[in-house]
Structure 1
């Protein structure tokens, strides 16, 4: 049972609206993400070389800043995963604090351990994993040197 791919244009408009609201309100947004820990991740497009902004939930687990490539359980990774794999240097905004980071994709053992802690705090991510045959990737964002 495969998942529908989110419509690219709808997703783009949705992300732009959240991004605008985030920047206008020091990182606070309403709707389905009200009260969630969100950051804006700016990656470099793997093909285009253009900056790409994605609003994402983040988690702090064991002192690590983590983001999850769930794409709501779709059978493909979100574009930002592909972009980070091609170029792990990125820019984030947490609240009104911008910073440069380097993304590190967690190896399987570490990913499994931390994913369990994430799903304990946010059970929706376990539901997303159950919907897809791919292993949902988890990235640690580390301050750039």
Structure 2
């Protein structure tokens, strides 16, 4: 039982680290920064093997410059027949910009689902790390 709990905690820590949005340092006087967009996945409800791909639909500063980018698929762990994968992409935006986004999930069953944060969309102000 201790091994199962330890494994679960390890997977949780790894997933939290990988899925957390990250802003990378920009060079001094550089206006652009890299921001990692990660798709939120509820592993108790979705088996990632059923996901064909995930696309992020995003815009900058009030949904301007709209783009669609397919997220990269990254193997995280396998445990008791379950596969745990993370999906993310890095985008370049100007410091201080607001990134607005939502996700489109395409499943192997040809089902399509959108995640727009319960109708609120996802928003983040991208800034340079101190």
Please say whether Structure 1 and Structure 2 have the same fold, judged by a TM-score greater than 0.5: no
Greater Rg by CA: 2
Q: Which has the higher strand share?
A: 2
Relative to the length of structure 2, the TM-score reads 0.28
Compute the TM-score of the two structures, normalised by the length of structure 1.
Answer: 0.26
